[in-house]
Amino acid sequence: MENEKVSYIKADDNKLINEKAILWIKKLNECLEVCTKSTGCNIQNGDTHKICKLNNPSSYNKLNSWF
């Protein structure tokens, strides 16, 4: 078995997100909406995790670098 390092990102709701569980990311102004549900997410229903530059700059910058 390979010994892979698991990386996590902190969301604004004080939850840790496994980077491998991210399905999609949507950029909204200075925040990112992150979907981790295997069945998909709906932003209007609050199914996503929010990561804002002001609250979690390191997590935001890490994900924003993909854009």
Task: Encode pLDDT of 1-49 as tens digits.
Answer: 566 788 899 999 889 999 999 999 999 989 999 999 988 898 888 889 9
Question: Is-contact 8 17, C-beta < 8 A?
Answer: yes
Residue 2 lies in a domain: no
Residue-number span of the structural domain to which 35 is assigned:
8-64
- In this prediction the pTM is 0.82
Ordered strands of the 49-52 beta sheet:
24-28, 31-35, 49-52
Residue 28 lies in a domain: yes
**Structurally, how many domains does the chain consist of?**
1
pLDDT level of residue 50 (50, 70, 90 thresholds) = very high
Question: Is-contact 23 36, C-beta < 8 A?
Answer: yes
User: Residue 57's pLDDT is what?
Assistant: 94
Question: Is-contact 50 31, C-beta < 8 A?
Answer: yes
